[in-house]
Amino acid sequence: MDVKLKIWRQKGPDAEGRFVNYEVKDVSPDASFLEMLDILNVDLVKKGEDPVAFDHDCREGICGSCGMVVDGRPHGPNRGIATCELRMRLFEDGAEIVAEPWRAKPFPIIKDLVVDRTALDRIMQAGGYISAKTNAIPEANSIPVPKPASDEAMDAAACIGCGACVAACPNSSAMLFVAAKVSHLALLPQGKIERKERVMKMIEQMDKEGFGNCSNNYACESECPKKISVTHIARLNREFLRAEVS
């Protein structure tokens, strides 16, 4: 199949960006979207042009490196997948496809489709952990965890930190990302001790980084490659309120 591409090119954080048109011919419908970009890049290199920069690594939807807005939607038109899992068979032969970076103030563009998401790491550093020192720990089975709580914690912990929720949100809110971690740890007995400090510090850092607030748009849930539910945002709000009044 053949596709026409409109890709955002930007030399650096302060440079002006623009869409550039490309064509890629004879792509297998079974190829992934990133493999299609590989083909484009080999063409560009052969012509002596700078290839399109994009983050990617595991190419199996788990490392969270890749991420671009494809045809107006983070990670493209399919639900529950990362960009690397997007297959060309989802597009029509001859389709025009637009690819642009995550657009959010806390994610400055580094080059082309590569953005700086270290703001998410700083939120985690603010409190996204249980302070269990190496070896200062009880035997694993000494604290049973009810299966439903453990399962729900796992649902939240599946977050890959890609930032699609932020890119999808009209307010560039990172609430789903923060909620996933707060919820994961608050559901477990091991995480309850620090729950108050954790939620306060993570929210504080989230605000400091310039992420917006949640206005119940739910676009984050629709675009999340791991289908993390907005009910975790409800739990985040509850945890926050609980921490404030206690």
Partner 1 sequence: MKLDSKIPAGPIEKKWDNHRFALKLVNPANKRKYSVIVVGTGLAGASAAASLGELGYNVLAFSYHESPRRAHSIAAQGGINAPKNYSNDGDSVWRLFYDTVKGGDYRAREANVYRLAQVSGNIIDQCVAQGVPFARDYAGYLDNRSFGGAQVSRTFYARGQTGQQLLLGAYSALSRQLRAGAVKFFPRREMLDLVLVNGQARGIVCRNLVTGKIESYAANAVVLATGGYANVFYLSTMAKASNATAVWRVYKRGAAFGNPCFTQIHPTCIPQGGSYQSKLTLMSESLRNDGRIWVPKKKGDTRRPDQIPEDERDYYLERLYPSFGNLAPRDVASRRAKEMCDKGLGVGSTGLAVYLDFADAIKRLGKHVIEERYGNLFDMYHEITAENPYQVPMRIYPAVHYTMGGLWVDYNLMSTIPGLFVLGEANFSDHGANRLGASALMQGLADGYFIIPYTIGDYLATAPFKPVKTDDVSFKEVVGGIEGMVKKFMSINGKKTVEEFHRELGKIMWDNVGMGRNKAGLLRALKEIPALREEFWKNVKVVGQADDLNAELERAGRVADFLELGELMATDALHREESCGGHFREEHQTDDGEAKRNDKKFSYVAAWEYAGPGKSPILNKEPLEFEYVKPSQRSYK
Q: Taking CB under 8 A as the criterion, which residues in 129-148 touch partner 1?
A: 129-135, 137-141, 143-147
Only one of the segments 95-103, 182-190, 210-218, 238-246 lies at the binding site for partner 1 (rule: CB under 8 A); that segment is 182-190
Shortest distance, position 198 Cβ to partner 1, whole Å: 11
User: Residue 53 or residue 95: which is nearer to partner 1 going by CB?
Assistant: 53
Cβ nearer to partner 1, comparing 208 with 215:
208
Q: How far is the CB of 46 from partner 1 (least distance, A)?
A: 7
Residue 209 lies near partner 1 (rule: CB under 8 A): no
**Closest distance between partner 1 and the C-beta of residue 171, in Å?**
23
Binding partner 1 by CB under 8 A: which of 9, 17, 31, 237? 31
Tell whether residue 231 is a contact of partner 1 (CB under 8 A).
no
What radius of gyration do the chain's Cα atoms show? 20
Task: Name residues contacting partner 1, limited to 46-65 (CB under 8 A).
Answer: 46, 48-51, 53, 55-65
Footprint of partner 1 on 63-122 (CB under 8 A)? 63-65, 80-81, 85, 87, 89, 110-111, 114, 116-118, 120-121
How many residues in the shown chain lie near partner 1 by CB under 8 A?
Answer: 79
CB-based contact 34:54 (threshold 8 Å): yes
Nearer CB in complex with partner 1: 61/214: 61
10 is an interface residue for partner 1 by CB under 8 A: no
Residue in 40, 68, 113, 126 binding partner 1, rule: CB under 8 A: 126
In sequence order, the 6+-apart residues with CB closer than 8 A to the CB of 29 are 1, 87, 88, 89
| Identity of the residue, 150 or 213, whose beta carbon is nearer to partner 1 in the bound complex | 150
Q: In this chain, which of 125, 197, 242, 244 binds partner 1, going by CB under 8 A?
A: 125
Minimum separation from the CB atom of position 216 to partner 1 (A): 27
Residue 18: CB partners within 8 Å, gap ≥ 6?
8, 9, 10
What whole-number distance in Å separates Cα of residue 150 and Cα of residue 145? 6
Query: Distance between CA atoms of 105 and 218, rounded to whole angstroms?
Result: 20
- Among 3, 7, 153, 176, indicate the residue that binds partner 1 (CB under 8 A): 153
Q: Considering the rule CB under 8 A, would residue 200 count as an interface residue with partner 1?
A: no
The pairing of strands 69-70 and 3-9 is unpaired
